[in-house]
């Protein structure tokens, strides 16, 4: 499994070859965007020919020529070394300890080119070296690479590596991955090699995803038996975290009570007795026994089904299909009441909503709700404006329809739907008309990303933030690229924008927005160019956020249909679901 990441430490304005010319106080001011890029390219050429170099970095047998001023400009580590009172500030030969030669060469190359290749072979040496030299962008792309490699066979090792190097986000993601894939994780060698404290931390989690507490009990027994002589004394400590009362009476009697490790330990017998007493109580009195072991686990579930709503084939269609992730197959469910493409699709209150869209002749105000338990669509209150290629998202218990195209012009208006009263009301309009707009929800704010301004016929790089408390839209930082029809998704507290088109070109680039710092940064490109795509993610499923999934499980789906994955909505005794949409202008 190989992957390469390219990251840039240079401002996004360098991407353009055009000069910016301004008239200032009767004179002229010109800024050449390409100047810095050309300068770094020339400095790297000089370095490769060992011209004008004033320092030789040494790691083992490898010598890497460089320019102190370039190193200092990109690395606080080198800046402190060469501008302070350290002996290295005047030295022409500097030994770099704790970094191997190949890795040092790779990182110096990054300083000059803003490019770095990350692979399975080098990531474990590249990340600590980048941390040492304070090249934090390289450290970040290493973390993103490891996140993409998470698997039941390696997630515990990645978690330990992240903990060792204080990579807090990666540590959290790896731990959550281990919780979600516990049944597979416990079958691997990494689980058997865990310390007592690490096993306790894992099996004590409320978020452990298991079909039955039997999985936890059997995993605990297997860990003890893996090194029985050394681990047997830890049995009582581990049993504190096994929720025996949640097991069936038959399993308690036939399996737990007969387990030799339990029979030979009085403390463990006490836990078994507690579970038996719990089962002897009438169901309406079991709440009287309140311990950590009687509390059901509340796992962060993976979706079981992805729903694809409507679309074009080549005209607007009514078909709705589901993909079962566990069975790896597609099947059809109830069709839409009418033909629909370019609709907004969301999951709210255990139901799927298809909002607006295009029926092949007209942009529509129609809103339909899907009840998976009855496998039935119901037509709800219509929006006040016709909208296709709109953005749709859920914030709290309110569904928002953002912008879109009414058949003649792009829209800046926004409507809010309350499922309790089944009605739509206008809220504050955006500052810019936006069709083919991407939307996402982060920390109680709604974001409208890019889109197409029908008035000026421009694809947009601007982004607006909506505060429902103030009922106000404000501009936030622009993206580095114009994006109409970008896929927008939320991971944690960050907003991702992927693909889209900037007018002449369809993009495969991806950038991520951090609300606290109000900044965008580039991350690894997708494998292909995409427009009108939607990002569907799985990490923490919140009905209010619409989408959220780890980068390594990001689904960019392209087309004029609505796509959904939902949780909490039962589909004809078969599945649960959550939603994503794909639209064309």
Transcribe 299-365 into DSSP letters.
--PPPSEEEEE--BSSSBB--EEEEETTTTEEEEEPPPSS-BBS-EEEEETTEEEEE--B-SS-B--
pLDDT of residue 78: 92
The rounded distance, in Å, linking the Cα atoms of 76 and 205 is: 39
Residue 229: exposed, middle, or buried by beta-carbon count in 10 A (0-12, 13-18, 19+)? exposed
Domain-located, residue 224: yes
Under 8 Å between Cβ of 581 and 563 = yes
Confidence (pLDDT) at 40: 87
Radius of gyration of the chain (CA): 28
Kindly state the helix (H) or strand (E) to which residue 63 belongs, with its residue range. Answer: strand 62-66
Q: What is the pLDDT of residue 21?
A: 53
Cβ neighbours for 397, distance < 8 A, ≥ 6 positions apart:
348, 349, 418, 419, 420, 544
Distance CA 228, CA 217 (A): 16
Cβ atoms within 10 Å of 12's Cβ, excluding its own: 17
Q: What's the domain count of the chain? A: 3
532 and 576 housed in the same domain: yes
Q: What is the CATH number of the domain that holds 285?
A: 1.25.40.420
What does the pLDDT read at residue 563? 57
Query: What's the per-residue H, E or C state across 225-257?
Result: HHCHHHHHHHHHHHHCCCCHHHCCHHHHHHHHC
* Contact present, 434 and 410 (Cβ < 8 Å): yes
- Of residues 148, 244, 159, 226, the one with CA closest to residue 187: 226
Query: What pLDDT, on the 0 to 100 scale, is given for residue 373?
Result: 67
Q: Please tell me whether residues 329 and 415 are part of one structural domain.
A: yes
Whether residue 60 contacts residue 101, with contact meaning beta carbons closer than 8 Å, is answered with yes
CATH number where 108 lies? 3.30.710.10
**Is residue 267 domain-resident?**
yes
Domain match, 286 and 309 both: no
The Cα–Cα gap between 469 and 416 comes to 13
Task: Using the 3D structure, point to which of 294, 329, 359 is the last residue of a domain.
Answer: 294
**536-562 confidence digits (pLDDT tens):** 654 433 332 232 233 334 444 445 556
Asked whether residue 289 falls in the same domain as residue 318, the answer is: no
> pLDDT value at position 582?
33
CATH code assigned at 503: 2.120.10.80
Do residues 457 and 397 both lie within one domain? Answer: yes
Residues 351, 428, single domain; the answer is: yes
| Nearby residues of 82 by Cβ (< 8 Å), 6 or more positions away | 55, 68, 71, 72, 88, 89
Bridge-based pairing state of the strands 376-379 and 445-449:
unpaired
Give the end of a domain, one of 294, 321, 346. Answer: 294
- In this structure, is residue 498 part of a structural domain? yes
Instruction: Walk along the chain (585 residues) and give the pLDDT tens digit of each residue.
Output: 334 444 444 433 344 444 555 655 667 777 777 888 888 889 888 988 988 999 999 999 999 999 999 999 999 999 999 998 888 888 889 999 999 999 999 999 999 998 999 999 999 999 999 999 999 999 999 999 999 899 999 999 999 999 999 999 999 999 999 998 999 999 999 999 999 999 999 999 998 988 789 999 999 999 999 999 999 999 999 999 999 999 988 999 999 999 999 998 999 999 999 999 998 988 777 777 888 898 888 776 555 677 889 888 888 999 999 887 666 788 899 999 999 999 999 988 778 899 999 999 999 999 999 887 678 899 999 999 999 999 999 998 899 999 999 999 999 999 999 988 899 999 999 999 999 999 999 989 999 999 999 777 889 999 999 999 999 999 999 999 999 999 998 887 889 999 999 888 899 999 999 999 999 999 989 888 888 877 765 443 333 223 223 333 444 444 555 655 544 333 333 322 222 333 334
Looking at the fold, whether 290 and 318 belong to one and the same domain comes out as: no
Range of the domain at 268: 194-294
Residues paired with 29 in a beta bridge: 22
Does residue 155 form part of some domain?
no
pLDDT score, position 261: 93
Residue 172 lies in a domain: no
Judging by beta carbons within 10 Å of its beta carbon (0-12, 13-18, 19+), is residue 184 exposed, middle or buried?
Answer: middle
Residue 512 parent element (H or E): strand 510-514
| pLDDT of res. 543 | 30
Based on the domain organization, do 267 and 313 belong to the same domain?
Answer: no
Looking at 93, 120, 149, which one is the last position of a domain?
149
**pLDDT at position 561, please?**
58
DSSP state of 62: E
pLDDT of residue 306: 79
Token match 């909503």: residue?
353
Q: 276-305 b/e with 16+ CB inside 10 Å = b?
A: bebeeeeeeeeeeeeeebbeebeebebbbb
- Domain shared by 316 and 448, yes or no: yes
Same domain, 208 and 88: no
> Residue 360 phi/psi, 5° resolution?
105, -20
Q: Is residue 11 part of a domain?
A: no
Domain check: are 448 and 576 in the same one?
yes
Q: Give the pLDDT confidence score for residue 533 in this predicted structure.
A: 78
Number of helices followed by number of strands (H, E) in the chain:
17, 30
Q: How far apart are CA 158 and CA 139, in angstroms?
A: 14
69 shares a domain with 218: no
Q: Is residue 568 part of a domain?
A: yes
- Residue 19 domain-assigned? no
Three-class DSSP labels, 406-468: CCCCECCCEEEEECCCCEEEEECCCCCCCECCEEEEECCEEEEECCEECCCCEECCCEEEEEC
Handedness of CA 337, 343, 348, 350 (dihedral sign): positive
């Amino acid at each position: 499994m190989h992957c390469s990441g390219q990251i840039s430490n240079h401002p996004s304005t360098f991407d353009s070859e055009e000069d910016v010319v301004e008239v200032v106080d009767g004179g002229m001011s010109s800024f050449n965007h390409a100047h810095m890029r050309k300068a770094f390219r020339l400095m790297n050429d000089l370095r490769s020919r060992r011209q004008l170099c004033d320092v030789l970095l040494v790691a083992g047998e490898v010598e890497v020529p460089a320019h102190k001023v370039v190193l200092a400009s990109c690395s606080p580590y080198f800046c402190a070394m060469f501008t302070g009172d350290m002996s290295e500030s005047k030295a022409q030969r500097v030994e770099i300890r704790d970094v191997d030669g190949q890795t040092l060469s790779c990182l110096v190359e990054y300083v000059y080119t803003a490019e770095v290749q990350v692979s399975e072979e080098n990531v474990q040496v590249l990340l600590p070296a980048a941390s040492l030299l304070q090249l934090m962008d390289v450290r970040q792309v290493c973390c993103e690479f490891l996140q993409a490699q998470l698997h039941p066979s390696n997630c515990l090792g990645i978690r330990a590596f992240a903990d060792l190097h204080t990579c807090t986000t990666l540590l959290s993601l790896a731990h959550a991955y281990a919780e979600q894939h516990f049944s597979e994780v416990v079958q691997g060698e990494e689980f058997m090699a865990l310390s007592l404290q690490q096993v306790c931390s894992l099996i004590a989690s409320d978020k452990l995803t298991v079909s039955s507490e039997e999985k936890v009990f059997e995993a605990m027994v297997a860990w003890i038996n893996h090194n029985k002589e050394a681990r047997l004394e830890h049995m009582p400590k581990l049993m504190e975290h096994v929720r025996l009362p949640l097991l069936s009476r038959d399993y308690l009697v036939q399996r737990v009570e007969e387990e030799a490790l339990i029979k030979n330990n009085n403390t463990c017998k006490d836990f078994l007795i507690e579970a038996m007493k719990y089962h002897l109580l009438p169901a309406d009195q079991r709440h009287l026994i309140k311990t950590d072991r009687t509390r059901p686990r509340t796992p962060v579930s993976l979706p079981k089904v992805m729903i694809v709503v409507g679309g074009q084939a080549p005209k607007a269609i009514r078909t709705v299909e589901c993909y079962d992730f566990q069975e790896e197959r597609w099947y059809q469910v109830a069709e839409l009441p009418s033909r629909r493409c370019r609709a907004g699709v969301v999951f709210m209150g255990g139901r799927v909503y298809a909002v607006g869209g295009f029926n092949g002749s007209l942009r529509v105000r129609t809103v339909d709700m899907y009840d998976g338990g009855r496998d039935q669509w119901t037509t709800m209150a219509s929006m006040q404006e016709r909208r296709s290629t709109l953005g749709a998202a859920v914030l709290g218990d309110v569904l928002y329809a953002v912008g879109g195209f009414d058949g003649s012009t792009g829209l800046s208006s926004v409507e809010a739907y309350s499922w309790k009263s089944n009605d739509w009301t206008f809220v504050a309009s955006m500052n810019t008309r936006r069709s083919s707009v991407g939307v996402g929800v982060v920390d109680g704010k709604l974001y409208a990303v890019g889109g197409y301004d029908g008035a000026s016929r421009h694809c947009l790089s601007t982004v607006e933030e909506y505060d429902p408390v103030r009922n106000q839209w404000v501009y936030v930082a622009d993206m580095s690229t114009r994006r109409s029809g970008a896929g927008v998704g939320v991971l944690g507290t960050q907003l991702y924008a992927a693909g889209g088109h900037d007018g002449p070109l369809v993009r495969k680039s991806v950038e991520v927005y951090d609300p606290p710092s109000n900044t965008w940064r580039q991350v690894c490109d997708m494998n292909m160019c995409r427009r009108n795509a939607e990002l569907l993610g799985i990490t923490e499923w919140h009905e209010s956020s619409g989408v959220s999934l780890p980068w390594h499980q990001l689904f960019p789906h392209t087309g004029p249909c609505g796509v959904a994955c939902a949780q909490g909505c039962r589909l004809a005794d078969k599945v649960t679901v959550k939603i994503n949409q794909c639209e064309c202008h």
